[in-house]
Every structure is written in C-alpha cells, then in structure tokens.
C-alpha cells in the first residue's frame, strides 16, 4: 500500500496536550484497526483550548490501513486523551500527505503498524474505553441538564401533571363520576342478588353441577365393574355348570 493510498484513511487529531507521544496515540487508537503511520507536530494557528501556560499544544495525523478503521476512529471525536478533550476529524489525502512530522519523541513511524497484543495492553485499553464511555455519559447528562434548565421541560411537565390532576378532580366533583360509579356497582350487585333469589340461579347451578358429577361418576365406575368379560361377543360359548 502506497502512502497515497494510506492517506485516504487518515484522521487529524487536534488539541492534544504537549506531553502526548506517538506511543500514547498508538495505544489510544489501536483497537480501531491497523495503524500505518503516526505523525505529530505543534498545533497550527491559535492557542488550543485547555493548553498550558505557554499555550503549547500538539496535533497528530493518524493513518489507518482501512476505511473501516478510520470510521471507528472518527466515532471517538470529543474523547479525552491525557485529561484533554480532543477533536478528531477526517482529512483530505492532500492534507495528509503534506503533514510534516515535527516531534521526534515517541514510537518511530516504522513501528506504528506493530501493535502488541498482550493482555496488559488490552486491559489498559478496556479501562480507557470505560473512562471514555463514562465521559460521554457525563457530557450527555450535562447537555440534557443545560437544555432542561433553558427550556424548563421538567418544570413544565410537572405543571402539566398538576393541571391534569386538578382538572380530573374538578370534573369528578362536578359530575360525581366516582359516586355514580359506586352507586352503579351497588345497584348491579343488588339486582343480581334479586334475580338470583327469584330464579334460584345459584341453587340450580349447584344442582346441575352435582348431577353432572354424579353422572360422570356412574359412567366411570360402571365401566370398571363391567370388566373385560363384558366385551365377549354374542357367539361366545355359554359357561358350563
């Protein structure tokens, strides 16, 4: 794969702290996929957000072997590296090829594609991912809190619930819905009891159920008493005395 091909799958990482090394970036992006080249330089333009007293900040170009690895890396935009939130975005191949590696410390470019797969490295990466997820959840929660305070969503929801409760109570008091429901249920029970006493529905139902059980019992016990001899045909010889 030529450098021009690899440049198609590069990302630009901005707002890095001055103590970030190529090894730091290699560890951070290793789970995204194979890394071909890592270049590091002083940040261009204005002082980066969160920089030290001297305003020192770095930016890096990380080139991956595949487009899938690049897309995975772009998902990490706004993640935290060395206690600083970084910006991760795609770059044009021309910009990637023109990126000059100015910082020498860290792993050499030739070693960038060689990532150790030991358990310690994976354990460290899992811990980093857990921290990143926690940071994302915290930022989402803070964003919702700010949005809620700005638009008073929770307060309006509580007000709407209270208004609905009051309206329901007013309608109930005005039309006596609860009282009428209780009266209707009481009347229905009374009518049912009167019909039952008049037509003896419950008593007849008990008698019918008793008759049905008795009939079933006779059928079952009658079959048991008949035994296998009852199945003899008309041509069977009569018993001799």
- The segments of the chain whose pLDDT lies below 50 read 46-54, 106-119, 230-231, 241
In a domain, 207, yes or no: no
Q: What distance in Å separates the CA atoms of residue 39 and residue 12, rounded to the nearest whole number?
A: 10
3-state secondary structure of 12: strand
Instruction: Render 15-77 in DSSP notation, one character per residue.
Output: EE-TT--HHHHHHHHGGGS-EEEEEEEEPPSSPPTT--TT---EEEEEEESSHHHHHHHHTTT
Residue 41, both tokens = 């330089």
Beta-carbon contacts of 55 under 8 Å, excluding residues fewer than 6 positions away, are 47, 48
Indicate the residue among 124, 153, 180 that finishes a domain.
180
Asked whether residue 7 falls in the same domain as residue 83, the answer is yes
Q: What distance in Å separates the CA atoms of residue 115 and residue 121, rounded to the nearest whole number?
A: 9
pLDDT of residue 48: 45
Asked whether residue 128 falls in the same domain as residue 91, the answer is no
Asked whether residue 111 falls in the same domain as residue 8, the answer is yes
Residue 7, both tokens = 């440049």
Asked whether residue 60 falls in the same domain as residue 110, the answer is yes
pLDDT of residue 162: 87
pLDDT of residue 184: 86
Asked whether residue 10 falls in the same domain as residue 80, the answer is yes
Residue 103 maps to which CATH number? 3.30.70.330
In a domain, 230, yes or no: no
pLDDT of residue 203: 86
Asked whether residue 79 falls in the same domain as residue 141, the answer is no
Asked whether residue 15 falls in the same domain as residue 89, the answer is yes
Residue 16: beta bridge partners? 58
pLDDT of residue 141: 74
In a domain, 157, yes or no: yes
pLDDT of residue 110: 41
pLDDT of residue 23: 93
Asked whether residue 98 falls in the same domain as residue 128, the answer is no
Q: What distance in Å separates the CA atoms of residue 79 and residue 133, rounded to the nearest whole number?
A: 9
Number of independent structural domains in the chain: 2
In a domain, 187, yes or no: no
In a domain, 175, yes or no: yes
Asked whether residue 74 falls in the same domain as residue 130, the answer is no
In a domain, 223, yes or no: no
pLDDT of residue 240: 55
Indicate the residue among 115, 136, 164 that finishes a domain.
115
CA–chain centroid gap for 164, Å, is 32
Indicate the residue among 180, 203, 234 that finishes a domain.
180
- What count of other Cβ atoms lies within 10 Å of the Cβ of residue 113? 15
Element (H, E) at 241: none
pLDDT of residue 2: 54
Q: Helices 153-175 and 119-151: crossing angle, nearest 10°?
A: 60
pTM over 0.75: no
Asked whether residue 108 falls in the same domain as residue 60, the answer is yes
Range of the domain at 146: 116-180
**227: phi > 0 → left, psi -120 to 50 → alpha, else beta; which?**
left
């Amino acid at each position: 794969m030529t450098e021009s091909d690899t440049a198609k799958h590069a990302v630009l990482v901005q707002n890095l702290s001055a103590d970030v090394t190529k090894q730091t970036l290699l560890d951070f992006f290793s789970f995204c996929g194979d890394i071909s080249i890592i270049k590091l330089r002083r940040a261009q333009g204005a002082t980066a957000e969160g920089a030290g007293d001297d305003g020192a900040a770095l930016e890096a170009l990380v080139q991956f072997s595949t487009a899938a690895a690049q897309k995975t890396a772009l998902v990490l935009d706004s993640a935290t590296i060395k206690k600083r939130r970084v910006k991760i975005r795609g770059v044009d191949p021309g910009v990637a090829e023109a990126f000059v590696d100015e910082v020498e410390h860290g792993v050499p470019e030739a070693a960038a594609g060689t990532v150790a797969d030991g358990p310690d490295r994976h354990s460290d990466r899992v811990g980093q991912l857990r921290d990143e997820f926690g940071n994302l959840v915290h930022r989402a929660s803070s964003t919702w809190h700010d949005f809620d305070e700005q638009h008073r969503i929770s307060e309006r929801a509580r007000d709407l619930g209270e208004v609905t409760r009051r309206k329901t109570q007013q309608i109930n008091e005005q039309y006596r819905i609860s009282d009428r429901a209780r009266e209707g249920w009481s009347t229905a029970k009374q009518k049912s009891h009167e019909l039952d006493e008049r037509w003896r529905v419950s008593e007849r139902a008990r008698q019918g159920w008793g008759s049905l059980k008795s009939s079933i019992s006779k059928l079952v016990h009658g079959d048991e008493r008949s035994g296998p001899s009852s199945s003899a045909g008309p041509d069977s010889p009569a018993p001799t005395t």
